[in-house]
């Protein structure tokens, strides 16, 4: 367990981000609703636009779910005492890096290696 981090701050930050994601899901679900086929109610171009918006809303929903999974995993690491350590090399992740993204799994060195730099 890291003594140099305010772990309660990061737990609260993770929980706030999870709550914000859940609040945004309701709006995303409404935008991702099926588009009616009746062309007498909706013109072809309007329907195509609605289908594109639906696809974008679904993609956003998928990204939101991935982010929520990352944050839940970070919360799990917090509970186990492993939060703030790189999952590859087990070195400490810089506090600034965790403040930007509390779901970070990798230290900067391992993140660079993963990107091939």
pLDDT tens-place string over residues 61-78: 899 999 999 999 999 999
Residues facing 92 on adjacent strands = 85
SS3 42: coil
Q: Are 47 and 22 in contact (CB under 8 A)?
A: no
pTM confidence score: 0.72
Domain residue ranges of the chain, discontinuous segments joined by +: 7-82
Tokens of 5: 């981090």
Tokens of 3: 């003594």
Is the predicted pLDDT of residue 100 greater than 90, yes or no? Answer: yes
pLDDT tens-place string over residues 51-62: 788 888 888 889
Distances (CA, A) of 74 to 21, 23, 29, 37, 98: 15, 19, 25, 43, 10
């Amino acid at each position: 367990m890291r003594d140099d981090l305010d772990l309660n701050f990061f737990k609260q930050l993770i929980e706030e981000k999870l709550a914000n994601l859940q609040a945004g899901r309701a709006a995303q679900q409404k935008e991702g609703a099926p588009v009616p086929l009746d062309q007498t109610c909706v013109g072809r171009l309007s329907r195509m636009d609605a289908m594109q918006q639906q696809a974008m809303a679904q993609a956003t929903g998928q990204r939101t779910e991935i982010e929520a999974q990352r944050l839940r995993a970070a919360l799990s690491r917090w509970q186990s005492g492993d939060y703030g350590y790189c999952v590859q090399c087990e070195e400490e992740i810089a506090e600034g890096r965790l403040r930007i993204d509390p779901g970070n799994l990798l230290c900067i060195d391992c993140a660079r290696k993963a990107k091939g730099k």
